[in-house]
Amino acid sequence: MTYFSYHTHTHYCDGKAEAEAFVKRAIELQMKAVGFSSHAPFPVEVSWNMHENQLKNYVNEINSLKKKFSEKLDIYLSLEIDYIPGVTKPFDQIKKECGLDYMIGSVHLIKSPVKNKYLFLDGPDTNYTHGLECFYHGDIKKMVRDYFYQVNEMILEQKPDVIGHIDKIKMNNKGRYFSENEKWYQNLLEESIDLIKETDSIVEINTRGLYTKKSPAFYPDMNFAKICQKHKIPMTISTDAHHPDELLLYFDEAAIMLKESGYDSIRIYDKGRWREEAI
Ligand SMILES: [Zn+2]
Ligand SMILES: [Zn+2]
């Protein structure tokens, strides 16, 4: 098995260690590659992304680690870029300005129907329940639709290499507001998959929800992976590590799930391009 982590967060955003600590741990674990993907800066005040004035240092630090450890590990420079329509910069521009190897596109903040109000769907449950009541008057279907429409728009307009935790909206649902088996929800998943089919984007199986115990399943789970397989959507595995000890948590389990969904290979990033690698 080829082990890698293209989705990792350091001290530059909400990660819990320096980039070099991840590199050293990755070498110990005999991993092939580590890609750094701090939360990109954007003009909405949140506690978990990188500040604009740190971006240059981040780029320089990762680039110098690339050189320092070039004999031992493939190191990549990336960002997990939020997409908020009309607010965030075009992904291409960020990629060019920073010289990124690849881009992960994610939606953490839903642009709500209330002007300049964003629903933070990650983190504590209270953000979700408060947003659902205050911005959506409890209309969960509208909120979930707004989330997937924003993801779809990101896929079509920003063309990220990797789509971050595509169904993260389920995290704080905890079985309270809807069942993922309901037809309207399944239709939204299928709609997104139909769009991804038209692009080169890769869907990641994000394992973080399982090891932080915030989700009983991967983002996305086996049901979604099976539909992706039917449509030949390329997949990769992300642990979304925020600490070096998380670099490979549930990686093997995600690979097994993909195999059971019918995949016999996943996408890896190798010498400047994405290619299929057997699992
Ligand atoms: Zn994320
Ligand atoms: Zn992340």
For residue 237, give both structure tokens.
């595995």
Report the distance separating Cα 129 and Cα 131, nearest Å. 5
249 C-alpha vs ligand 2 centroid, how far in Å? 14
Closest-CA residue to 6 (of 104, 90, 143, 81): 104
Distance 194 CA to ligand 2 centre (A): 24
pLDDT value of position 114: 92
Measured CA to CA in angstroms, residue 214 lies from 15, 40, 118, 167 at distances of 17, 23, 21, 13
**Which ligand sits nearest to residue 123's alpha carbon?**
1
Instruction: Check pLDDT > 90 for residue 124.
Output: no
Closest ligand (CA of 105)? 1
- pLDDT, average across residues 162-191: 94
Task: Using the mean position of ligand 2's atoms as its centre, give its distance from the Cα of residue 216 in Å.
Answer: 18
Q: What residue type is 187 in one-letter code? A: N
Instruction: Give residue-wise pLDDT tens across range 67-97.
Output: 999 999 999 999 999 999 999 999 999 999 9
Rounded CA gap, 273 and 279, in Å?
18
Going by pLDDT thresholds of 50, 70 and 90, the confidence category of residue 125 is confident
211 burial (CB, 10 Å; 0-12 / 13-18 / 19+) is middle
Q: How far is ligand 1, taken at its centre, from the CA of residue 242, in Å?
A: 11
Tell me which ligand sits closest to the C-alpha of residue 107.
1
Q: What are the tens digits of pLDDT across the range 13-51?
A: 999 999 999 999 999 999 999 999 999 999 999 999 999
Ligand 1 centroid to residue 192 C-alpha, Å? 18
Q: What is the pLDDT of residue 126?
A: 87
Q: Is the pLDDT of residue 174 over 90?
A: no
Q: Which domains does the chain have, with CATH numbers?
A: 4-278 (3.20.20.140)
The pLDDT of residue 123 is above 90: no
Nearest ligand (C-alpha, residue 46): 1
Residue 271: band (very low, low, confident or very high) from pLDDT cuts 50, 70, 90: confident
31's tokens: 């991993």
d(CA 62, CA 77): 6
Q: What is the pLDDT of residue 250?
A: 98
The alpha carbon of 241 and the centre of ligand 2 are apart by a number of angstroms equal to 7
pLDDT value, residue 7: 98
Token look-up 């350091």 returns 10
Task: Calculate the average pLDDT of the chain.
Answer: 96
What percent of the chain shows pLDDT beyond 90?
Answer: 93
CA of 165 to the centre of ligand 2 (A): 8
Å from CA of 8 to ligand 1 middle: 10
